[in-house]
Amino acid sequence: MLQTRQDDLGERFQLQRAAFGTQPFPDLGVRKDRLKRLLALTEKHEADICAAIDADFGGRSAHETRLAELFVVRAGIHHALAHLKGWMRERRVATTMPFLPGRNRLVPQPLGVVGIVSPWNYPFQLAVAPVTAALAAGNRALIKPSELTPAFSALLAKLVAEHFAADELSVITGDAEMGKAFVSMPFDHLLFTGSTSVGRQVAIAAAANLTPVTLELGGKSPAIFDPSCDLDAAVSSIAYGKLLNAGQTCIAPDYLLVPKGQGDAVSAKLATAIARLYPTLRDNPDYTAIISDRHHQRLRDMIAEARDAGADVTEINPAGEELGASRKMLPTLVRNASANLRLMREEIFGPVLPIVEYAGIDDAIDHVNGADRPLALYWFGRDSGNRQRMLHETVAGGVTINDCMLHLVQENQPFGGVGASGMGAYHGEWGFRTFSKEKPVFLQSRLSAGAMLRPPYGKTFERLFSLLRHIT
């Protein structure tokens, strides 16, 4: 991958800032044209995108790339094109009586130049979905993709250059040092997707420029089986949600809470469900590899630590294969893991699922609330009382009931974290609003009586002020 020079980063930023200065409020036609070009980039190069991501992972399911990346992005662009005119419209806002017949309006205004830092796990979706929102809102944008996906990052830079002028949209490639320089630029808004630890450093760098940030982070997202759940359906959803992209998903179920005494039964059902999805692993194109040797070793070390500490570790290997030198990893279930293990403290980001038994709804709620607020929470069951308690007494970035991950793909709802799992939101109109300044405007009427409240004060002021006090 050819790295962008540091000087080029500054030059492209200034190029976009100057271009925004000449067109600070692009009209509907300009914005739709940019979105349509983004859609063409998505639709015309599907095979190339799948191949580049497959090469970076050393085995990435093309079906997962098409479904979890290209389909999601395509749906988001279509949604933006269909609703953009309404999002751009000035909104009427009620005016309180003392200020009538003046009028209030909210004007959504582009911010300027937006920076987007995207991660390696869904490199296309998590770069282009924020770009969709930024362009819809009328901004220019720079993208810094992950250095861990060099083939894809080079392809994205090439495709963006083919479909956009550099003063509209541009890709900055490079290593972690380039990433540090990127987030230190005085963007008008910065969106970062990645780990909580790096997110903290991004926020510090952005604060030096008072750059507002949207942080899409991660954490330990729980899945909870209520005693009232359909166990077979719940297990099937968890198996799929956990092993999509081999667990390298920020909203994947990180650990599973099950009623006391059900750990063995759930573990056995999960093993069966996993074997049904992936009857083989090593040469199965549906099963994705771990992104790098370092990440693969980290997962192996976490499992070894749990095994050495006496946890029950079950590796699922339906065909009894040797995975050899590939970075594919056996799906692994872990029971009776103590709370101090890395597996229970760190976001796992791989095909490893701890199963924890809980004593009752209060215990389950306490377990969730005893950790940082997660990006996602999954609850399975039919007991509406327990469901409401879980919704009302825990805080999470988003929730899916009786399934996994589907809250992320709802364009009519915001997606974002809370606390250690992030701040801010995007998708659909929420993305448009994230990258806009909703500017309040008050239009004074020529019939205003406001001048009567100005000096010199006297009886007229007192009578009018007394009236205002009674009507507000």
Q: Active-site residues: which are they?
A: 216, 250
Both structure tokens of 444: 């004074």
Q: Which token pair is 203?
A: 């926020």
The angle, 0 to 180 degrees and rounded to 10, between the axes of the packed helices 196-207 and 176-183 is 40
Q: Which long-range contacts (CB under 8 A, 24 or more apart) does 360-363 make?
A: 361/226, 361/386, 361/389, 361/390
Report whether 249 contacts 238 (CB < 8 A).
Answer: no
Q: What is the DSSP string of 180-196?
A: HHHHTS--SEEEEES-H
Q: What span, in angstroms and rounded, lies between the C-alpha atoms of 363 and 349?
A: 25
Amino acid at the residue 68 = A
Task: Round the CA-based radius of gyration of the chain to a whole number and report it.
Answer: 26
- Report the C-alpha gap between 141 and 68 in whole angstroms: 23
**Adjacent-strand bridge partners of 398:** 376
372: tokens are 């940082």
Q: Which residues contact 352 (CB under 8 A, 6 or more apart)?
A: 247, 299, 302, 303, 329, 331, 332, 334, 343
Beta bridge partners of residue 190, listed in sequence order:
115, 213
The DSSP secondary-structure symbol of 164 reads: S
Q: How far apart are CA 320 and CA 196, in angstroms?
A: 37
For residues 225 and 95, give the distance between their C-alpha atoms in angstroms, rounded to a whole number. 49
CA dist 257 and 363 (Å) reads 10
Q: Which residues of 154-173 are buried (b: 16+ CB within 10 A; e: fewer)?
A: bbbbebbeebbebbbbbbbb
Q: Please give the C-alpha separations between residue 188 and each of 9, 140, 243, 336, in angstroms, as whole numbers.
A: 15, 10, 37, 48
**Structure-block tokens of residue 235:** 């297990």
